[in-house]
Chains A and B, each alone.
Chain A
Amino acid sequence: MKYMIMTFGSAEAGLEAMGKEWMVEMIQFMHKLDDDLRKSGELVSAEGLADGSQAKTVRFENGISVATDGPFAEAKESLVGYWIVDVESEGRAIEIASRIVDFVKVPIEVRQVMDAPPEF
């Protein structure tokens, strides 16, 4: 079963709230986590996203699509990175997410990827 594990916020806010040492530890933590998931044969992919302030939003306005600068969600609601893992159970996906939460102390979202076989 594949799950997407998503983190929200921004690196800048993390740095401000937690300080430089935490930032260094966080980088090490993420590096170790990716490594562990790779070794356990569970990692499908993992990516970090450019800061939400660099985002463009494309909207449908007056009958055409228009691209505008900037995030429209609050920074803490902005997606900063994700892992896709292929694990044996939802419990295992939550275990991985808990390990991240224990470190970053902010909420992490766990969503199943829709690749299950249909049962009809």
Chain B
Amino acid sequence: MRTEPKPRIEDLLRELAPQVLGTLMRRHEQLDACEDAVQEALLAASLQWAKKGVPENPRSWLVTVASRRLVDEWRSESARRRREETAAVLDLSDRGKTADHDDTLALLFMCCHPSLSVPSQLALTLRAIGGLTTAEVAHAFLVPEATIAQRISRAKERIRSTGVRFDLPPEPERSDRLRVVLHALYLVFNEGYTTTSGTAVHRTDLTAEAIRLARMLHALMPAEGEAAGLLALMLLTDARRAARTTDDGSIVPLDEQRRELWNTAQIEEGVALLTRTLGTVPIGPYQLQAAIAAVHDEAASATETDWPQILALYEVLERVSPGPVVTLNRAVAVARVHGPRAGLALLGTLDTDDRMAHTHRLEAVRGHLLELAGEPAAARESYRRAARMTASLPEQRYLMLRAARLT
């Protein structure tokens, strides 16, 4: 028995949570019952281990306690289950590492099943894989606990009713299904990557959680370039967090950020990960976005940014994964390399794109490029239009201030 400080126990529990749940799922396939049992085992562990120390084999301890709970639950539920009991406890002895890996992955694919709504995917993933309590998930998304509890129970109901299997998706579907998983983790990160004053602390936790999950996914699927790319993108983006906002929550644009506040360890890790990945696997959008983030992160100052390289990367990204947002970002790079007029001309091609009609980003970028082109009055109008369209309060304030500066 070892005694560990409390945060260490929590980290350990959350690392083990998906493995324990995966093991139970492999045997019983009932997400709701297994998940409840694992949550109870985690709770029991956090109480007991803090007092008595961490057991020699914490994973076995959790599997045993959780399967015991599952059996207790069934016993009280109905006697016809009794036949399964012995098997339930006995078959859950330690198995190979490969089986563990596959079970955790199968669980992740189940939580991010395309038949679930996106909010349900996020809530379920954070609880079943992340090992967060319902209250913690609710806190992170700034909604009442009952809302998340309901969302999770509906997701489980849907998994049951649509007959979603606890298994790795077959090869032909694998890459599409992985894309959904990556997108869910990306959304968790994005949700956390906002720093309005007052909610900053908890939302930062969500970012850390997304990185932890992406790290886990990368470890489980080291050959998947996009899993590595997503992790690198998160690390390289999150590295700038401390410089991104001021104490009052105001946004600081990239070229005005104090670069000494950037997290160099995280940048090094992201760059190393990217270097190992690029060129060894098929290129994908997350790897490319990470590569672009790396070029920004590696510039000693805003003026030293290698814009021609960023532009080249956006050109590749547009070929691999075309879309109006990519074109928009490429326009910024074009403006930096070939001048604001060239950037504005490219933006013009997006004016008729319905997908851009209701987002503020087109007008925000246009305002920026008009400002660079020496047209303050037109820039002000674009900033104002963008401010009216955004759904982010810090961003609205930023855009209003940009507009006000030009009056």
Q: Which residue of the partner chain, among B123, B144, B391, contacts A114 with CB atoms under 8 Å?
A: B391
Instruction: Report the minimal beta-carbon distance from A95 to chain B, rounded to whole angstroms.
Output: 13
Segment among A18-26, A40-48, A55-63, A100-108 that sits at the interface with chain B: A40-48
A31 contacts B by Cβ under 8 Å: no
Instruction: Report the minimal beta-carbon distance from A55 to chain B, rounded to whole angstroms.
Output: 26
A15 contacts B by Cβ under 8 Å: no
Q: Please state if A42 and B147 are interface contacts (CB–CB under 8 Å).
A: yes
Q: How far is the CA of A68 from the CA of B361 in the complex (A)?
A: 42
Q: Please state if A1 and B146 are interface contacts (CB–CB under 8 Å).
A: no
Known: A86-B119, A115-B196. 14 other contacts (CB 8 A): A39-B154, A40-B150, A41-B123, A41-B148, A41-B149, A41-B154, A43-B144, A45-B144, A86-B143, A88-B118, A117-B191, A118-B392, A119-B395, A120-B253
Size of interface on A: residues with Cβ below 8 Å to B:
21
Q: Please state if A41 and B396 are interface contacts (CB–CB under 8 Å).
A: no
Q: Please state if B141 and A86 are interface contacts (CB–CB under 8 Å).
A: yes
- Chain A residues within an 8 Å CB radius of B149: 41
Also in contact, A41 and B395, with CB within 8 A (given A116-B390, A118-B194): no
B404 contacts A by Cβ under 8 Å: no
Q: How far is the CA of A119 from the CA of B196 in the complex (A)?
A: 13
- Chain A residues within an 8 Å CB radius of B146: 38
- Chain B residues within an 8 Å CB radius of A116: 194, 390-392, 395
Also in contact, A39 and B150, with CB within 8 A (given A1-B391, A112-B391, A119-B392): yes
- Chain A residues within an 8 Å CB radius of B194: 115-118
- Chain B residues within an 8 Å CB radius of A39: 150, 154
Q: How far is the CA of A115 from the CA of B391 in the complex (A)?
A: 6
Q: Which residue of the partner chain, among B147, B154, B254, B393, contacts A120 with CB atoms under 8 Å?
A: B254
Q: How far is the CA of A118 from the CA of B394 in the complex (A)?
A: 7
Q: Tell me the chain B residues, 237-285 only, with Cβ under 8 Å from chain A.
A: 244, 251, 253-254
B193 contacts A by Cβ under 8 Å: yes
Q: Please state if A41 and B190 are interface contacts (CB–CB under 8 Å).
A: no
> Main secondary structure on chain A at its contact with chain B?
loop
B 2-15 to A, binary, CB cutoff 8 A, 1 in contact else 0: 00000000000000
Q: How far is the CA of A117 from the CA of B141 in the complex (A)?
A: 12
B 341-352 to A, binary, CB cutoff 8 A, 1 in contact else 0: 000000000000
- Chain A residues within an 8 Å CB radius of B392: 114-119
A 83-103 to B, binary, CB cutoff 8 A, 1 in contact else 0: 000111000000000000000
- 5 A-B pairs with least C-beta separation: A41-B151, A117-B194, A41-B150, A116-B391, A118-B395
Q: Tell me the chain B residues, 138-176 only, with Cβ under 8 Å from chain A.
A: 141-144, 146-152, 154
Q: Tell me the chain A residues, 1-54 only, with Cβ under 8 Å from chain B.
A: 1, 38-45
Instruction: Report the minimal beta-carbon distance from A104 to chain B, rounded to whole angstroms.
Output: 24
- Chain B residues within an 8 Å CB radius of A41: 119-120, 123, 147-152, 154
Q: Please state if A40 and B251 are interface contacts (CB–CB under 8 Å).
A: no
Instruction: Report the minimal beta-carbon distance from A2 to chain B, rounded to whole angstroms.
Output: 8
Q: Please state if A88 and B117 are interface contacts (CB–CB under 8 Å).
A: yes
**What are 24 contact pairs spanning A and B, CB under 8 A?**
A38-B147, A39-B154, A41-B119, A41-B120, A41-B148, A41-B151, A43-B147, A44-B144, A44-B147, A86-B119, A86-B147, A87-B119, A88-B118, A113-B391, A114-B391, A114-B392, A115-B194, A115-B392, A116-B395, A117-B191, A117-B194, A118-B390, A120-B244, A120-B395
Q: How far is the CA of A116 from the CA of B141 in the complex (A)?
A: 11
B49 contacts A by Cβ under 8 Å: no
Q: Which of A40, A88, A113, A117 has the most CB of B within 10 A?
A: A117
Q: Please state if A115 and B142 are interface contacts (CB–CB under 8 Å).
A: yes
B74 contacts A by Cβ under 8 Å: no
In this complex, what residue of A is CB-closest to B361? A119
Q: How far is the CA of A86 from the CA of B154 in the complex (A)?
A: 15
Q: Which of A39, A88, A112, A118 has the most CB of B within 10 A?
A: A118
Q: Please state if A44 and B143 are interface contacts (CB–CB under 8 Å).
A: yes
- Chain A residues within an 8 Å CB radius of B251: 118, 120
- Chain A residues within an 8 Å CB radius of B154: 39-41
Q: How far is the CA of A39 from the CA of B157 in the complex (A)?
A: 12
Instruction: Report the minimal beta-carbon distance from B253 to chain A, rounded to whole angstroms.
Output: 6
- Chain B residues within an 8 Å CB radius of A42: 147
- Chain B residues within an 8 Å CB radius of A45: 144
In this complex, what residue of A is CB-closest to B141? A86
Q: How far is the CA of A112 from the CA of B254 in the complex (A)?
A: 27
Instruction: Report the minimal beta-carbon distance from A3 to chain B, rounded to whole angstroms.
Output: 10
- Chain B residues within an 8 Å CB radius of A115: 142, 194, 196, 391-393
Q: Tell me the chain A residues, 66-95 only, with Cβ under 8 Å from chain B.
A: 86-88
B 130-141 to A, binary, CB cutoff 8 A, 1 in contact else 0: 000000000001
In this complex, what residue of A is CB-closest to B396? A114
